[in-house]
Chain A
Amino acid sequence: MAKELLKGNIAIAEAALRAGVDAYFGYPITPQTELLEHMSRRMPELGRVFLQAESEIAAINMVYGAACTGAWAMTSSSGPGISLMQEGLSYIALSNVPAVVVDIMRGGPGLGNIQPSQADYNQLTRGGGHGDYRCIVLAPATVQEAIDLTVLAFDLADKYRAVAIVAGDGLIGQMMEPAELPPMRQRPRTRPPWALTGARGRLPNSIAAFSIEAETLEAMNWQLQAKLQRIREHEVRYEAWLTDDADILVVAFGSVGRIVKTAVREARAHGVHAGLIRPITLWPFPHAPIEQAAARVKAVLVVEMNAGQMVDDVRMAVCGQAPVHFYGRPGGSIPVPEEILERIMTLSREG
């Protein structure tokens, strides 16, 4: 496949189609609406299910129902809609059915605005709804990576029977850049043995995020935790760039990670040894590589498009080995490389 000029939202939608999504349920919200629109045209073309729901609450529950039949189902939204989906995500998590969610983050809290933001970090990486669970969270920095991580999201959701979230932001969703789409995957349409299909020739299957007995619910919880532990052990992804000789370690994710690269390059031009760790999986979080890199640096700088959320995870990973500083722009403002460079240079002088 050749590179083509693609808008992030449409690239994600097309990647989902090619990965093999069977059903899409969604509701309009800026800055992800093009994804829904693209699906409304392409899914029927391919003989698959598209349904515009009456709310994000209904959309995630339609995903739940479709996933219960063993189908690959997805939805997409932005912060306010993702908040409404938390109830459904909590049920899906304990039900152990696969689902993919795309969050194209916008400024918050509340209605916030429609500019790019990373303020859903805590909601996405902590589970978001009630009870003990986590979702796999993948954060792309480019349109190409958004495509690749969307395909990965389906594979991980299917492998672990878990929720996988592609966490982009308004920048990723709205910008156009050259990227290459994968070929259309021919996925066998078989129903897994746990799926609800009508109990023909077998005992009935039940799917319930529920047990009235404490012992049973505890066992279900420990089973879920064991699965999450396997994900922690096998699915951590990150990019480490110029960290070997770094004095200043910058940690940033998504499109901010990309902006930071320019600042790191500039800092090096000024003789300051800066480096970047960009978590690609926000959950499971790359604690170990950050912990190891922090042992060698004078200071750590965390940059986010929010008021400071991932910085808590970085502090835990650094574990007091170096001072951890934060620079953030909440409310839909995008930091430019010069602002970040200034922080790096200041830390270098003070260090």
Chain B
Amino acid sequence: MEEGIAVATFQEQKVYSRPRALIEETTSYCPGCTHGLINKLIAEVIDELGIQENTISVSPVGCSVFFYRYLVLDGVVAPHGRAPAVATGIKRMLPDRVVITYQGDGDMAAIGMSEIVWTAMRGENITAFFVNNANYGMTGGQMAPTTLAGQVTTTSPQGRDVETMGMPTRMAEMIAGLPGSAYVARCAMYDARTIREARNAIRLALRAQMAGAGFTMVEFLSTCPTNWGLSPQDALHWIKETMVAYYPLGEFKVSEMVQRLKAQR
């Protein structure tokens, strides 16, 4: 040390890095789309729980089809809507593995409604991640079961007419009402608090599956700036101000077993 000069020594400490379970690659998601964020949260929780080598993913058809590549896991791409049935086949053969599906709203709530309902009804011990961005993203922004009343899409140019198309589908509430579900939560991806809550919900759902609690599902209100015609910033606001009003956040089903897990933290 030089005389008269104080030199501070810094210990470098890495406080944040890409999760191991997430591929080191630029994703195909649009700028401002929160799919990538949800992928990352799931990867982080998989790292945290130490289950990367024990987890099998089932991807859907739609924007989220690349989940099987972005997550560094064994994985399969299911036919449109059929991910819960494919996951059932996997889980029945390998009950000690963690099996997850990652599905969009067209995939789960329209074409795959039968498969998701019956997989939940059976109490299949898998976890379904459900990304609700209120439209069909991959095909260019058509009306989805989750499209809000009055929302303009390429197939509802005058806005969704609930007189002819019915009201938007609330999946979390529906699945929570089935006896086979053990944990169902709806989260949103618009600020630090809601993102942290989403991470907690993912963690609890996967812990519940590992404990054999039954069917678990986490719904995410997610942005689609490209098809919504909004800037990334405005898209976050649209979730907060518009989507949450119809799709309330929170836990809709917490079985006794999951409550005990939750208390353990």
Contact = CB atoms under 8 A, between A and B. Distances in A.
A150 B143 CA distance: 46
A67 B94 CA distance: 11
A53 interface: yes
A55 interface: yes
Nearest to A63: B89
A91 B55 CA distance: 22
Given A63-B89, A71-B93, A88 B74 contact: no
Given A59-B85, A68-B76, 4 more contacts: A25-B89, A65-B89, A199-B72, A206-B76
Given A62-B88, A68-B86, A197-B97, A57 B114 contact: yes
17 contacts: A51-B92, A54-B114, A58-B88, A61-B89, A62-B89, A64-B78, A64-B89, A65-B86, A66-B92, A68-B76, A68-B89, A69-B56, A71-B93, A87-B82, A196-B56, A204-B73, A204-B74
Q: On chain A, which size bracket covers the interface?
A: 35 or more
B229 interface: no
A22 B94 CA distance: 12
B131 to A, nearest CB: 19
B75 interface: yes
A47 interface: no
Interface string A67-107: 11101010000000000000110010001000000000000
A275 B77 CA distance: 49
Given A58-B82, A65-B87, A65-B88, A206 B75 contact: yes
Among B58, B59, B87, B93, which residue has the most Cβ atoms of chain A within 10 A? B93
Interface stretch (A33-41, A168-176, A207-215, A239-247): A207-215
Interface of B: 52-56, 58-59, 65, 68-69, 72-79, 82, 85-94, 97-98, 114-115, 118
A23 B93 contact: yes
A113 interface: no
A23 B92 CA distance: 9
B170 to A, nearest CB: 22
A20 to B, nearest CB: 14
Given A65-B85, A66-B90, A66-B92, A206 B55 contact: no
A192 to B, nearest CB: 13
A205 interface: yes
B187 to A, nearest CB: 26
B115 A58 contact: yes
A201 interface: yes
Contacts of A349: none
Contacts of A110: none
